[in-house]
Amino acid sequence: MTAVLAVDAGTTKMKMAVVRDAREIAAESEQAYPINIREGGQRDIDSDHWWNAFLFCCSRLKPQIRDVQAVGLSVSTPGAVALDARGEALTPAVLFLDGRSRRQAQSIRDAIGEETLLQQTGNLPVSGGCTASTILWWREHQPEIFKQAAFFGHTNTLFGKRLTGDWGMDPSTASLTALYNTAANDGAWNSRIADALKIPIEKLPPIVDSWAPVGELLPRWADETGIRAGTPVLMGGNDAMCAALNGGVTREGAILDICGTCEIISIGLSRSIPGRRYNVRCHVIPDLWCTLYVLNTGGKALEWHHQNFCRDIPEDDFYNRHIPHVIEAYFESGESWDLPDYEVFLAGDRYSTEDRRASLSRLTLETDRDHILMAIIRGNNQYMALHIQEMAGRIPLSSEIHLTGGGLSPAFIRCKRRWMSDSDYVLKSNSSLMGAAQLAHFHITGEKPW
């Protein structure tokens, strides 16, 4: 029997578990943390929140944590951060929601050419979701930090360096930098693009496979974490790709819908098939790619609705009772409610350099908060349906959609069947966390989880 520590560093919460044989959660803990929301579209997180949440969860998992044979990482991406030679963060970690570098993203498109970017890196740069544009923003607005940085890394770069003393980044996270050879997935940074953007390639971390160790746990952390010194710490990968592993996206055409702070549709690819309205990621397993179609405010839109329209309802009641009740009432009415139209871009558009905003239109005196809630749910699902429809014209798709995330219920699935895809839905729990556990189990045993 194997025992591994699975770490899921999400956008707003750290989840950790001791997992046995990549199947059974023996003990688990979680800790929430805030993100910074500032003027100019800046959305980032102080990396100390990650580290403190990690130590807190370790303390809650003792004594089970002492038995773990490896640590697997699943991380929100990019979490772009400038790091000094010791691995200390010089900047907050920039999140995918960030809107500060739209102009820099457009300048990359203009300098390199959109077709070249798509064919080589698999993606078009956007603010927040593209590390190259964040690096250019640092160079322009914080030149001393740009010069001082030893490496520009992601969430797993920071954790790897802190825990083991070694540098790294895996292909699943590197593939959204606009600097990695995503289409070839050859373990190499694209020196031509880096040179053209005047980003020193020596400041980009070594590429390490997701299932391979970045290093071993330093003795200095053994007492504080309870993990034995010398335990291998895997490089790990992007949380959506770890979820794809656990969620059955291990072949072309398989589909996973991740319902979290943002909502993500991921579809397996046997080769890079780039598009202007979705991302291509390298998977955390070899010889496979995935689409990544992201709505920045999936669950976040429901949180926004609660904060602005339903403050009188306790949070648990809002998600577990109020939303299912409203959905049931809507369908019992024969969908007769006159819903307003909802434009979904509360936190911008992941695929545009423009400052796109959300909107509600066709409001009447009869429109109430329940109508607005249903408009948000319908709009979100109709937006996600666009990607399934596009990819159905490119590759054969599975008739099943694996579904994972918080707050899922039969009521939500009914909405998805109505507005996203009339498919068979298979529920999966803790997919990002369990994907990290599967990678660690594979490292120990050599048993492929794909």
pTM: 0.93
176, pLDDT greater than 80: yes
Which pLDDT tens digit goes with each residue over 407-419? 789 999 999 999 9
Using CA atoms, how far apart are residues 11 and 372, in angstroms rounded to an integer?
26
> Angle 410-419/323-332 helices, nearest 10 degrees?
50
Phi, then psi, of 295 in degrees rounded to 5: -105, 115
Residue 109, both tokens: 């498109």
pLDDT score at 395: 98
Phi, then psi, of 287 in degrees rounded to 5: 60, 30
Q: Sign (positive/negative) of CA torsion 439, 445, 446, 450?
A: negative
Residue 59, both tokens: 């303390």
Q: Are 97 and 80 in contact (CB under 8 A)?
A: no
* Beta bridge mates, 253: none
Per the prediction, the chain carries an average pLDDT of 96
Which pLDDT tens digit goes with each residue over 256-304? 999 988 999 999 999 999 999 999 999 999 999 999 999 999 999 999 9
pLDDT score at 71: 98
Instruction: Name the residue with higher pLDDT: 131 or 96.
Output: 131
pLDDT band at 55, cuts 50/70/90? very high
Instruction: State what percent of residues in the chain have pLDDT above 70.
Output: 100
Cis ω on the peptide bond leading into residue 78 (within 30° of 0)? yes
4, pLDDT greater than 90: yes
Which pLDDT tens digit goes with each residue over 119-161? 999 999 999 999 999 999 999 999 999 999 999 999 999 999 9
Cα torsion for 37, 342, 299, 347, to the nearest 10°? -20
What the chain holds in terms of domains, given with CATH numbers, is 3-243 (3.30.420.40), 299-427 (3.30.420.40)
Q: Are 213 and 443 in contact (CB under 8 A)?
A: yes
